[in-house]
Structure 1
């Protein structure tokens, strides 16, 4: 296992399942992504650059696409979620829709590979 899988394995439910879903979507879009650490968090990396990171905090879960432009591009589709410059926060009761996760990964992959 790697940094992402190890981190997810240490989480309790339902956080683990929610973040595993995000990682599975990312791996489906970028199967050549590798596990690693970026900015101190477990992340999938593409061409040595961070693609997407996931973290469980005390009161929310977070997706880090490592790009303010990516968050801005999907912000209109994330009503009710807490957003910051490079983070999307959510809860197991109010997850990020799969199509939005897919779009974030596609956009970030395109940034990395431009």
Structure 2
């Protein structure tokens, strides 16, 4: 059986159990507020935001929400992420704990600055 291919973020969020949807929506709104000019898309079959390239992605799993701000977004905030499970490009926020919206906002804003700087360098070449 082939996995469902999502066309919209609303479709993605609505595919999860009712208790998970508000968590995904809160994460979505936190990102939108931090990056109001970013384009919301589905990429790699999960919600993502683009602004001068890929900004962040997120996805829900059985016991956590995965947040993907690229490796630099994790490295830059390593101390503040010490309480969360992380890997090279991913952070796991447990579904049974409050989302750290302030930290998510800081990471998204860091990624905006990073992407804008890369775009500027590219433009100057």
Q: Normalising by structure 1, what TM-score? A: 0.84
Structure 2 partner of 1:108: 111
Q: How does 1:2-41 map to 2 (within 5 A)?
A: 3-41=8-46
Q: Give the drift of 1:89.
A: 0.4
- In the TM superposition, what is the alpha-carbon distance from 1:7 to its structure 2 partner? 0.8
**Contact 2:23/2:99, CA 8 A, preserved across alignment:** no
List gaps (5 residues or longer) in structure 2. 1-6, 118-125
Work out whether residues 64 and 93 of structure 2, in 8 Å CA contact, stay in contact via their aligned partners in 1. yes
Residue number in structure 2 paired with 1:61 = 65
Corresponding residue of 2:95: 92
Structure 1 Cα separation of the partners of residues 49 and 19 of structure 2:
21
Verify the 8 A CA contact 1:14 1:92 in the aligned structure 2.
no
**Deviations for 1:56-89, whole angstroms, at most 9, x for unmatched residues?**
1223210111x21111112211233110111110
TM-score of the aligned structures, taking structure 2 as reference length: 0.78
Q: Which of 1 and 2 has greater Rg? A: 2
Gaps of 5+ in 1: none
* Aligned match of 1:46: 51
The runs of 4+ residues in structure 1 deviating greater than 3 Å are: none
